[in-house]
Chain A
Amino acid sequence: MLELIDTYWLYFLVGQYPQGPLGGLVLTILLSGAALVLAMPLGLLLGVARVSPYRAISLPVAGLVQVVRAVPLLLVLFWVYFFLPAVTGVKTSQATTMLMVLVVFDSVYLAEIVAAGMRALPKGQLESARSLGLGYGAALRHVVLPQTLRHGLPSIVNQLVSTIKATSLGYIIGLSEVSFIATQINTLVFTQAVEVYLILALTYFILCFGLSRLAFLLERRLQRPTAHLVQAS
């Protein structure tokens, strides 16, 4: 096992970089992080739309969420990678395709997190902001969303974990993420399949479990009793 790690650790970590595009664990992490960051603005927008009292706004978003959650990510990946180039004439790289699809999925899940957080915030917060004369947009920006995002942070970290796991699907369209690299290593070495895939599993475990623990600790910190917050009946 140790010589295996010794020989291939760099390949596992960064793929063929710099002699080729970036791959491996670093690609997995960068793609996931980038997807989540890029999805935030859209997720915020969709989340706010989701709780809008105007059904003309909230229903289409609810519909979009339902549709995105009803189809496998892999299917969307296939659509974008195989079908879209025929329509647009532009063939996107595996990494770009993966990123686009991840952003779509992440923004939908982030929208749900934002919407849930907004619904959970006491009504009085928005009311007092509006009572001071702040418009709805200003009230969202300065009072509602800062609190929503703070309370939603554990869920957002969990969404990052989901995204990391989702990048593995890039394997199927030939993206050189870490599972793909592991299989390449397995093909080269051939006789140590168990070791290779155990290392792969362990890598994901450390990364994802570590982040989940972070989310858990964040959640605990947020629930620390806040003194003197008297709730009126």
Chain B
Amino acid sequence: MIVLDKVNKYYGDYHALVDITERVENNEVLVVCGPSGSGKSTLIRTLNRLEEIDSGKIEIDGRDIHARGLDVNALRAGIGFVFQSFNLFPHLTVLENCTLAPVKLGRATKLEARDYAMQLLERVGLAHKRDAYPNALSGGQQQRVAIARALAMRPPIMLFDEPTSALDPEMVGEVLQVMRGLAGEGMTMVCVTHEMGFARDVADRVWFMAEGKILEQATPQEFFANPRHPRAQQFLADRRRD
């Protein structure tokens, strides 16, 4: 589904992504973890071109996403992205947040969009908040709405950029639960997260990143029990100490 081939990115002189070559299969749940500054967020943001790359190739569903003449908006419409800071639109209600894109992009009539959005809000447990504004919701609620908003576009892939890092601990669970549900339905997901429990339970594979490189990739069982790369060992040891 997603193919990365020798992807490199620089910020000035800083080599943020180093020769990334990997694949993500259909229906796979991939967790990307690593210390801060490792390039995890940068990597995931290159997948919907929120960040541009300097060399290499990225293919999604067989198509080069940097091909000339490719419609970036159409690309993004086919990828759901969930941000660390939710980024709900504060001037729109919860329901309007979810229906804006499908309607304005002509993917659905207002009625169809509303119906589907309500289904999604039911699924994330927030149907009763449909007419509320984001600032009346807790962080966990906002993030669940953000997931519903992304799902409203019916994307085949969902990307999560540290979805629970900005949440108070007691709200992390409700968001992870939604994500588990999605994984259970076979959604292709790439998640940058520090939530090792989620990785252990739900991920099909784990990528460990540091200093812009994918240093290790393995199944969660292998990774957590027997990390091979010394940096990965260090990382997990630090985590266990917390």
Contact = CB atoms under 8 A, between A and B. Distances in A.
Q: Do A and B belong to a common assembly?
A: yes
Interface of A: 122, 124-125, 127-135, 138, 142-143, 146-147, 150, 226-232
A127 B83 contact: yes
Interface size range on B against A: 35 or more
Going nearest first, the 9 A-B pairs with the smallest beta carbon separation are: A133-B77, A128-B87, A132-B101, A226-B135, A232-B85, A124-B87, A131-B81, A232-B166, A230-B139
B136 interface: yes
Contact of A138 (B87, B104, B149, B165): B104
B135 A132 contact: no
A129 B100 CA distance: 9
Interface of B: 48, 50, 73-79, 81, 83-91, 100-101, 104-105, 134-139, 141-142, 146, 149-150, 153, 162, 165-167
A228 B91 contact: no
B135 A134 contact: no
Nearest to B138: A228
A124 B139 contact: no
A174 B86 CA distance: 57
Given A128-B81, A131-B50, A134-B101, A228 B87 contact: no
Given A133-B78, A232-B166, 13 more contacts: A128-B81, A131-B76, A132-B101, A133-B74, A133-B75, A133-B101, A134-B101, A134-B105, A147-B89, A147-B90, A150-B91, A227-B135, A228-B136
A230 B150 contact: no
B77 A124 contact: no
A134 B153 CA distance: 11
B165 A232 contact: yes
B51 to A, nearest CB: 10
A230 B167 contact: yes
A124 B83 contact: yes
A132 B85 contact: no
A129 B153 CA distance: 12
Contact of B76 (A130, A150, A228): A130
A128 B45 CA distance: 12
Given A132-B77, A135-B73, A138-B104, A143 B89 contact: yes
A132 B136 contact: no
Given A132-B100, A133-B153, A125 B89 contact: yes
A129 B89 contact: yes
A130 B91 contact: no
Nearest to B162: A232
Most A CB contacts (10 A, CB to CB) among B74, B104, B150, B167 go to B104
B142 A228 contact: yes
Nearest to B142: A228
A143 B91 CA distance: 8
A132 B139 contact: no
Nearest to B45: A127
Contacts of A127: 50, 83, 87
8 contacts: A127-B83, A133-B73, A133-B77, A142-B100, A150-B91, A226-B90, A230-B139, A231-B166
Nearest to B105: A133
B47 to A, nearest CB: 11
Contacts of A229: 90, 134-135
Contact of A125 (B84, B87, B135, B162): B87
A227 B104 contact: no
Contact of B83 (A128, A142, A146, A227): A128
Nearest to B76: A133
B85 A230 contact: yes
B76 A132 contact: yes
